[in-house]
Structure 1
Amino acid sequence: PTQETFRAIVEELFASPHHGERMAMYWLDLVRYAESNSFERDNPKPYVWKYRDYVIRSLNSDKPYDQFVREQLAGDELPDISADSIIATGYYRLGPWDDEPADPMLAVYDELDDIITTTSQGFLGLTLNCARCHDHKLDPVSQKDYYSFLAFFKNVQRYGIRSDQSVRERSVRSIATEQEQEQFQEELRRYEERVAALRSQLDDVESRIRETLVGGEIDDFKADSVRLGIIRKYIGKAISQSEFDDYARTRKEWTDLRNHPPQIASQALCVKEHGPEAPVTHILTRGSPNAEADLVGPAFPEILSPPEPKIQKPKHAESTGRRLALAEWMTSPDNPLPARVMANRLWQWHFGRGIVRSSNDFGLQGERPTHPALLDWLASEFISQGWSIKAMHRLILNSRAYKMSSLVNDAAMHKDPQNNLFWRFDMRRLRAEEIRDSILQVNGQLDVERMFGPSIYPVIPAEVLAGQSRPGENWNTSAPEDRNRRSVYIHLKRSLQVPLLAAFDVADTDFSCPVRFATTQPTQALGMLNSEFVNDQARVFASDLKAQVGNDLAAFVELALWRVNQRPPTEDEMTRGQELVNSLRKEHGQTREEAEKNFCLLALNLNEFLYLD
């Protein structure tokens, strides 16, 4: 395409609401987004999907990156808090949580270490966590730096303490408007009145029955589970059939209401602090919570020659203001690291690797930038463009480097086999979610209309569910009409991954994942050929093609390859495709429907479909 046409395509993609869905997956990998706690029970995190939706909305609206960072680190301490800024602090609740730790005090510091690791690597490209136990000769970050950084988060309440109820008390708050709160209170009042009225009707019948009970029935009557059966015995004696029927209906309504009280929808998983006064922070000798050493206060890493933190307690929040001071420093134009780190990530998201390949480690143990001047210029542009992520996407996508061919030049390959100089565009395999979404898109099944909301649960084979410590628990397979939403909306359970996604290197959500490394394994080909999902979609694909072309085999093959490869098939591909279908029928005894379905399965396994060049 011409430059003008290419730019128009880029702008069209930016304007699409699906832009945020696509790019959000990179950020969610980085912040170890998952929707369950890990460990044995691996229970779901309430309302955590709202954080995912927040990221999608932020990227679609081109929220400035500095604001994006401030909201996640200190959205509850900002001068103007909003529902979005509260939801953003769910960032702190994304990590694993052991609800039954062997050493509770060590677990506290493990959770803080998870926050420090994700924050320092994700926003600063520094591995502060390496200094948790002691200083290192070759690392300028000291143990004092680590615990001074920890002090910014020391007042954060733990995600929970053992019970799920404690999670709701410590990590969930209302984000409802005043009108929504009033509506909820009115709904709650009506609910309580109805429950009380039903209970009164039940008591009237039960008191009459209680007077006629004999022997062991008196004790049995106290148990809800057997009460209805006992009352049934007294039909025609102490109670009529119609009264019993009314009682049974009333009891069912009362039970249903009691088990499903009204829930205010506008709640969010978020961070909370213990109060406006922060506890003291000690350096821990060898990282042991039982070996406290020198006191330290909140401070930025000394290697960066930072200013003193400017900490002010927010007037409207029960917190210290320390996290806001950290967020303000991180997004200051005087701090060069966050802009360089994010500019490098944006480059990586498009090219498959960053100018600094170790994109979570800009330190001495990380890799050197291949083009340091380019990285500095991109970081400077990022800030001068008002921290606009879309502006940086636009800059990169319209560059000559991005438009490079993936064709190999022998001379260049000899001089730079790793393509460190970006003399060609690296071919890459689709990410796990892209493979699933592309399969659904090819056969017209991808649901692109519905965005946001609670996650979906695709079908997982019974054999996989049976291998869990609690088989099938917390995996309620979604209705058929909900299963074909984009993969970004799939429920991410740490101990149970969708097999197709797991096979194609979906992120490990226990840790920050700056880049997914594409592996090549036999299980990937086996999964694409034999998985129930891919075979079902191949069958749908064949049925859809058949509805369009009827019994015209040539047209069937042509349309299938066109939709899969997004180009007209060659004569050779047409000939071989028809020969394959005929061979499956004649030599292997398959019906026409089976042969056409298997041809579609083959098409979905083509490298041209699975790779971008």
Structure 2
Amino acid sequence: MILKSITSTLRTLLAAVVGVMWLHAPTFAGEIDFQRDILPIFNESCLDCHGPDEQESNFRVDSRVALLKGGDYGDPGIVPGNAEMSLLVKAVAYEDPDLQMPPDEKLSDDKIELIRQWVKQGAVWPGQMDAKLVREKSDHWSFQPVVRPEVPHIDVRSHRQSAIADKENPKRSSIDAFLLDRLGEEGLEYSPAADPRSLIRRVSIVLTGLAPTPEQVHNFVAEHENDSEQAYSHLVERLLASPQFGERWAQHWLDVIRWAETNGSESNMYRKNAWIYRDYVIRAFNEDKPYDQFLFEQIAGDTVGQGDATGYLVSGPHVPAATVGQEATARRQARADRMDEVLQTVGATAMGMTIGCARCHNHKFDPISIKDYYSMAAVFQDVEFGSRFPELSDDHPRRIRGKELYGQINNLRRQLREMGPWDEHWIGYKEVRFPATITQSVRLTFTKNSVRVDELEIFGKKERNRNFALASEGTKSYSPEEMAVLRGDLSNINDGEYGTDGWAGKKPEGTQDYPWVQLTFTQPQEIDRIRMSSNRGDFLETDYLTGLNFVGTDPYIVEVQTEDGQWKEVAGTKQHQTLNKQNQQRVAITKELQRLIELANEEGPKPSFVGRFVKPVTTYVFSRGSPENPGVEVVPAGLSELDGDLGLGSNAPGKQRRKAFADWVTDPENPLTARVAANRFWHHVFGQGIVPTTADFGAAGAPPTHPELLDWLAAEFVKPSEISMRSGPASVETVNSQSKVTRNTTPAAWSMKHLIRLMVMSDAFRQSSLPRQAGLDIDAGSALLWRFPPKRVEAEVIRDSILQASGVLNTSVGGRSFRIHNVKKKYSQWEVVDNYGPETWRRMIYQERMRRVDDQLFTAFDFPDCGQVQAKRPVSTTPLQALNLLNSDFVIDQSQRIAKRAEDESDGEMTKAVRRCFELLLTRQPTDAEFAACLQLAQRTDLAMVCRTIINTNEFAFLP
């Protein structure tokens, strides 16, 4: 018993001693000697996994420079003088449960403290203190400067069977020279020229997304017989100048940036007026806006009066803050996810790089570090997903229209000022206007039992945009406590933030008092209008929700306090009603005023889902991508591999960051920008890019099939030089009913139409798509372009061509998207309710694009969901495609209309009507066998069934 007591006491004492030793971990006041104190630890515990033979996570400890560099996670292994920021110290001290080194057994406290002190004392490593951290440049082809190569010399006589006869082609284009040179190495040459009918169908669809009409085909064939070169040049220029060109090529851009009109995520909320950005893209292509300007405006358009262009930055999916909830870590993670969506968009479109791969560690294949990723994130720290009034220049179409309408609105306001106060209903809020009055306190009473207001704003005549109600102006808000409602904080009513978090008031039980709120300024102010709303955030951001409303019909009274402390009514629902009864002219004016306001809301500047701007915060590298593990601070910059230092600090304004980055990415010396764009144009003209992985120019992507041609195109794009019968902008002159195409001056730098023109004017584009055994044996995929590669047209081309054939296609350009979906509850799903009625007979680019929704028709044709970057649409073949083109409501309805049109244009004669159906859908006459079979089918069923059959043919769905 005594022995047990002694043993217990000894154990207690030993535990106490150990505890004291732990609390007082060893410290080393003297100078740490690397050879004596640190090197043995590295040799014994670190070098096996982080030495010259093996480098876990690319982290090495066998040199000071390697430690300064760090590994894949981005943080430097050591920061001399700062142990807390050194990854090596964090790892050996087991500070992070996910990063503990050595993993099998922790170092002793003495060894950990030695390493810590060594770093604090400057990490002195004898013999290596002069070694500098030098970043090795990549030798990957896409990071090398673009140098215009010499155009190969091609002996025309050796290619007599190619697309165009020698006498009509005295000088081949540079594109053909490169392609024929490569084909010659394989013993191949071009295929014969495509027939005129195939050629006009091909170029029309490639340039405008619409098949030619039978009349256009007839005219082209006739012109082609007289002068094939002139006829084709004329056709290309007409198509490039067509408004439908912008619609076609805008769709390609919208695919790669994943543009849609809903957020995705669980709620999949609608993005109100996101179509404003879509219209910007269409307009840019139609105007042939220089590509460098096009890209600059989408990154920093708010700095040059093109604020609608920044919809590009917020085109990807995101989780709204309301869905995330209030938990701080979840909000930080969601913000990081939204920033990643921005970087994915910029990386894929502007740079052809998978930037997102560096979010958690250095890129495994490309010279993109995790520090590069977060430096780019710093560029866009002022961007948030949401809506704002876009900044528009004075010559912007919406600004011009807005000025015209606002002038008319102000004329009516001048008349109303003599008739007493009135209401105006704007986008998401009601504005109450009354005669200017000086007061220090305003009281707003809602004559109903309960009310919710997200924001009150009060303005005056002198400083038109100064909101006197803001708490930041010193204004105090007050409402009796007995009127308070749970989660209706009074401070929200004048905090300057719109949204669902507002003030809520109720009528106290047993009283006759209606809910009211009072705002008191720091000093008297002259005011003449009040804005009020109940959920302006949702109203500006989304639409098509049940229960979405705002303060518009709620009865109210506005009172101001006079100098003697009395309250005076200056506006109110009943007062307005009384004035209207007394003055019918006032009623007519207010009605016309509201009509003009609604017109201005639609046609003038308007809040649109093109992003909103917030104050940028300091950016840190997130260890392993987690915002809960911030590491070293980074400043806004582009890729270090391409000298992306922007010369900015962490305190730089958001606009300055994005403008500097836009200047860097559009610099002619940036080797990625022009290459990526030129390759993307090539992909949409020929069906596959010179670099097949159009959004990945990195080591994991495919190499270019024609690297010299790609560089020539990139150089030509930035600085055009080729002047020949097949390049340069053209004009069409008509003399004596004959059209003549003449070439003008050298095309503008970065002209998108110029590069596309060069491609479609090439012999390569104009050759037949028919197979040849010699070509199939060597190049089955037609990547070397020994023939024009046949390809299935996109879902939009199929749909729009059907509408054109029936004669109901509405070709108006731009404007609000047409709806095919329901009005839904906030967290329910979208449902397709009408995808074939008259309201949907516009081009498919104007169909509301909703994420995670099957349109029950063309989704089967690989119509993108917009969740992932879609630089190259997949092409699948499924039974559902044939079923949709045979039995869907859309095809049945349109087939009946095509049949009716054919009958009307054939005087009701069935044989002519069958032939007319072929003309309308395939722009040709049927063969004898086709005619006999279709006539028999029409007689057995009806002519609409013949149309449905033709729509299901490969000829209708493929480029010839």
- Sort the TM-score into its range (normalised by shorter chain): 0.7 to 0.9
Please report the RMSD computed on the Cα atoms of aligned residues, expressed in angstroms: 3.8
Task: Single out whichever of 599-608 and 331-340 deviates more from structure 2.
Answer: 599-608
Structure 2 CA distance for aligned equivalents of residues 379 and 114 of structure 1: 27
| 1:68 partner SS | helix
Structure 2 CA distance for aligned equivalents of residues 291 and 471 of structure 1: 36
Structure 2 CA distance for aligned equivalents of residues 583 and 472 of structure 1: 41
| 1:544 partner SS | helix
Change (3 A) 1:267 1:467: closer
Q: Does 1:611 align with 2:942?
A: no
Structure 2 CA distance for aligned equivalents of residues 174 and 361 of structure 1: 33
1:546 match: 903
2:716 match: 381
Change (3 A) 1:402 1:151: same
8 A Cα contact 2:853 2:865, kept in partner: no
Change (3 A) 1:356 1:17: same
What do residues 542-567 of structure 1 show as CA deviations (whole Å, max 9, x unaligned)?
A: 11112222442211111111221111
Q: Does 1:23 align with 2:232?
A: no
2:857 match: 500
8 A Cα contact 2:307 2:391, kept in partner: no
Q: How does 1:265-344 map to 2 (within 5 A)?
A: 265-269=604-608, 270-275=610-615, 278-304=616-642, 306=643, 308-311=645-648, 319-344=654-679
| 2:766 partner SS | coil
8 A Cα contact 1:545 1:560, kept in partner: yes
Structure 1 CA distance for aligned equivalents of residues 238 and 433 of structure 2: 59
Q: Does 1:418 align with 2:781?
A: yes
Q: How does 1:52-451 map to 2 (within 5 A)?
A: 52-77=278-303, 81-82=304-305, 85-99=306-320, 100-101=323-324, 103-156=330-383, 158-159=384-385, 167-168=386-387, 171-173=388-390, 175=392, 176=399, 179=403, 193-195=421-423, 264=601, 265-269=604-608, 270-275=610-615, 278-304=616-642, 306=643, 308-311=645-648, 319-385=654-720, 386-448=749-811, 450-451=812-813
| 1:612 partner SS | coil
Structure 2 CA distance for aligned equivalents of residues 149 and 198 of structure 1: 45
What do residues 66-106 of structure 1 show as CA deviations (whole Å, max 9, x unaligned)?
A: 000110001112xxx22xx1100121222223121261110
8 A Cα contact 2:313 2:346, kept in partner: no
> Among residues 491, 494, 497, which one is paired with 2:848 in the alignment?
491
8 A Cα contact 1:312 1:322, kept in partner: no
- Output the TM-score relative to the length of structure 1: 0.80
Structure 1 CA distance for aligned equivalents of residues 612 and 278 of structure 2: 19
> Among residues 587, 596, 599, which one is paired with 2:946 in the alignment?
599
| 2:813 partner SS | coil
1:454 match: 816
Structure 1 CA distance for aligned equivalents of residues 626 and 633 of structure 2: 15
1:231 match: none
Change (3 A) 1:468 1:267: closer
Structure 2 CA distance for aligned equivalents of residues 569 and 301 of structure 1: 58
Change (3 A) 1:429 1:220: farther
**How far 1:494 moved relative to its partner?**
1.3
1:211 match: none
8 A Cα contact 2:302 2:391, kept in partner: no
Change (3 A) 1:398 1:254: closer
Q: Which consecutive residues of structure 2, in runs of 5 or more, have no partner in the other structure?
A: 1-223, 393-398, 425-430, 435-446, 449-508, 516-551, 556-577, 721-748
Structure 1 CA distance for aligned equivalents of residues 886 and 256 of structure 2: 31
What do residues 140-161 of structure 1 show as CA deviations (whole Å, max 9, x unaligned)?
A: 21111111111111232x22xx
1:232 match: none
Q: Which consecutive residues of structure 1, in runs of 5 or more, have no partner in the other structure?
A: 160-166, 201-205, 208-215, 228-242, 585-594
Between the two proteins, the alignment pairs up a number of residues equal to 544
> Among residues 261, 264, 286, which one is paired with 1:38 in the alignment?
264
Structure 2 CA distance for aligned equivalents of residues 436 and 188 of structure 1: 47
8 A Cα contact 1:141 1:301, kept in partner: yes
- One-letter code of the match for 1:530? N
What do residues 227-284 of structure 1 show as CA deviations (whole Å, max 9, x unaligned)?
A: 9xxxxxxxxxxxxxxx9xx89x999x999x9999856441243344334xx4221111
8 A Cα contact 1:442 1:541, kept in partner: yes
- One-letter code of the match for 2:880? T
Q: Flag the structure with higher strand content.
A: 2
Greater relative CO, 1 or 2 (CA 8 Å, sep 6+): 1
- Output the TM-score relative to the length of structure 2: 0.52
Structure 2 CA distance for aligned equivalents of residues 559 and 43 of structure 1: 45
Structure 1 CA distance for aligned equivalents of residues 343 and 828 of structure 2: 31
Change (3 A) 1:14 1:139: closer
Change (3 A) 1:259 1:383: closer
8 A Cα contact 1:174 1:267, kept in partner: no
- One-letter code of the match for 2:843? R
Percent identity between matched residues is: 35
2:36 match: none
Structure 1 CA distance for aligned equivalents of residues 785 and 696 of structure 2: 21
What do residues 495-548 of structure 1 show as CA deviations (whole Å, max 9, x unaligned)?
A: 324222211111221222101111101110111111001000001111111222
What do residues 372-430 of structure 1 show as CA deviations (whole Å, max 9, x unaligned)?
A: 00100000000013000000011001111111211111122111112221211111111
Q: How does 1:512-527 map to 2 (within 5 A)?
A: 512-527=869-884
Q: How does 1:472-487 map to 2 (within 5 A)?
A: 481-487=838-844
Structure 2 CA distance for aligned equivalents of residues 603 and 87 of structure 1: 42
- One-letter code of the match for 1:303? E
Change (3 A) 1:341 1:184: farther
| 1:119 partner SS | helix
Structure 1 CA distance for aligned equivalents of residues 678 and 554 of structure 2: 66
8 A Cα contact 2:636 2:649, kept in partner: no
**How far 1:14 moved relative to its partner?**
0.9
8 A Cα contact 2:308 2:390, kept in partner: no
